[in-house]
Structure 1
């Protein structure tokens, strides 16, 4: 083979690798449902999880050979999974910053980030009920349940209901017990 043929072969292989990488990191969409499901877990994408570890490397791609771009250093921080590949999950934080982390660093425990300073927790999901605590902006709280507009939170020994619109880590239409 001459140099020209080798260049063409190399370019063709690069294109094939790019195609393989692009399709292997994609997640399928169920026909007619409008719900995207992860190809590894068959769970909805995107979905929220939290950091299990107090420190987790965030990589450019889904393997140990990819460069570490930064490190998440906050246990229980809520994250949104946006893709799956083998044992790896592409996640992003509240600011949309993220990358690939190993699934063992993540937990299904639901947490939220408080997005309003001195957010009041109420005894029931009603703004006219007793205020049991106030949480500062940036606090991470555990979520026990969510209805249409409110979520039941636990933080710092306090438990109460907060408006869902003031939280990052739950979808606006999400409900669960």
Structure 2
């Protein structure tokens, strides 16, 4: 049996397994979070979203969802989920790097997320300037992070995040 970690693009058939992974990791309260509400009823960009497997077991997933900030297209990263037994082994970082590289190659400019700055800074995310980008619900502004895929993308973007 092959126990090597494999990464592949997310496909619609993965959604049920990813949802179960998210449920185990974040619980039912995840649906009340502002970032989840932005993604509600919006399909992720499958070309920019990835999963990690060991054999047939899905052990990690990362979605990239198209959004608008004001009238500017951007991407919302997340949820980034890793099975607890596989955490602290670089799975999350690898999933993010795959998504960021794919988004850059596809011509995207800016990726946003709500998360722990210390963790996400390892791949280059930084705290968004206070008030430049807002979300349609309560979010600790210190947890709103951005990653520029194209230089100047943040400077050219401001306003409220909304569904595409």
Which TM-score band (shorter chain)? Answer: under 0.3
More strand per residue: 1 or 2? 1
TM-score by length of 1: 0.26
Q: Which has the higher contact order (CA 8 A, sep 6+)?
A: 2
TM-score by length of 2: 0.27
Larger radius of gyration: 1
More helix per residue: 1 or 2? 2
